[in-house]
Amino acid sequence: MRTHKIAAIPGDGIGTEVIAAGLEVLKTAAARDGGFTLDVETFPWGTDYYLEHGRMMPEDALETLKPFDAIYFGSAGDPRVPDHVSLWGLRLAICQPFDQYANVRPARLLPGIEGPLRGVTDLDWVIVRENTEGEYAGAGGRVHQGHPEEVGMDVAVFTRAGVERVQRFAFELARTRPAKHLTLVTKSNAQRHGMVMWDEVFAAIKGDYPDVETDKVLVDAMTTRMVLKPETLDVIVATNLHADILSDLAAALSGSLGIAPTANLNPEARYPSMFEPIHGSAFDIMGQGIANPVGAFWSAVMMLENLGEARAAANLMQAIERYTGAGEDMPRDLGGQATTKQVTQAVIARLEGRN
Ligand code: ATP
Ligand code: MG
């Protein structure tokens, strides 16, 4: 029997609620499959840990995480700590050193979910976000802090190697899909250094993928295209910042932030990859048991795929879609009243073949 070691980091806010639900669903998925077990260890890192220890996770956290096969992450952020502290102290503190450079974010209209585009067209995209450099490289600085003459700089840092590897990843992904289409998103008219390099790298490597059709859009035009011509898009590759914004839009177009999943991949598997719902801690609803766990479940599907458990992944995705398509009560972000627990039980019932 195969065993996969999973590090669960629920983090803050509704992250703790949806990861608990996701672990229950994963346990059922493994039991139903029968071919593998999950050895889960949970790490209570996040804002409570920060308030006690002055850091979001222990100093040796990366050493602790390294032997795991995957990381299942909730969210980082809490009103008691500035957002940039929690983000840099936990999520980015794992993504960057573990070289999880390909952030993969599928967006699809699941059965039964009313996105704004339902009835207009179908939507089936994968956004590939560069995840280790660019606008979130952390470069920049502030001088004369607090004074009228203060200067603040956030510098986007792109390396040719970093750009090429994420673009190649996106080409490889596009080739596995029926449409075999890849859209490059940049802002190379206004930003004339790194963004132009993105365009040049794309032009230089696309000949290696003759089976993939390509096009190029500026990020501002991309927002309108996603809304007005969504059927012209398939796989999308963009920088850290641009893809961050576009994937929130994609999540809204597919129904709700609450259903959207993401995988932070280290494709070479030198380090564990990390799987998480794209939503944040959602303080407005935390502790009420009403968070939508579907984003965490779909992230669990991506984790199972990455662990090589394709059959269990497909079964879990099917259970999710059979629940959303059944016309039962949905969670609040999708216009219903269902609690986290009810959604979890509904998906588990499908997994167990009881519904
Ligand atoms: P972060 O800064 O951590 O990304 P955010 O302020 O962008 O957080 P989110 O927490 O991602 O905000 O979500 C925005 C709003 O969407 C939440 O306040 C909440 O009302 C709603 N929301 C997000 N995720 C869910 C979910 N899983 N279930 C229900 N509602 C959700
Ligand atoms: Mg956000």
**In angstroms, rounded to a whole number, what is the distance separating the alpha carbons of residues 170 and 130?**
10
Write out the E strands in 122-247: 124-130, 134-143, 151-157, 181-186, 213-218, 235-238
pLDDT score, position 85: 86
Per-residue pLDDT, averaged over 121-126, amounts to: 89
| Nearest ligand 1 atom to alpha carbon 278 | 11
pLDDT band at 178 (very low <50, low <70, confident <90, very high): very high
pLDDT given at position 115? 82
pLDDT band (50, 70, 90) for residue 59: very high
Report the distance separating Cα 142 and Cα 133, nearest Å: 20
Residue to mutate (ligand 1; options 278, 285, 334, 344; most atoms within 8 A of CB): 285
Query: Is any atom of ligand 1 closer than 6 Å to the C-beta of 75?
Result: yes
Q: Shortest CA distance to 289 belongs to which of 355, 329, 343?
A: 343
Ranking 68-77, 91-100, 115-124, 223-232 by mean pLDDT, the lowest is: 115-124
Structure confidence at residue 84 as a pLDDT band (50, 70, 90):
confident
Q: Is the pLDDT of residue 121 over 80?
A: no
ipTM over 0.90: yes
Instruction: Check pLDDT > 90 for residue 141.
Output: yes
pTM over 0.90: yes
- Sign of the torsion formed by the C-alpha atoms of 303, 306, 308 and 313: positive
Q: Is 86 in the pocket of ligand 1 (CB under 6 A)?
A: no
- CB-side neighbour CA atoms (13 Å) of 229: 7
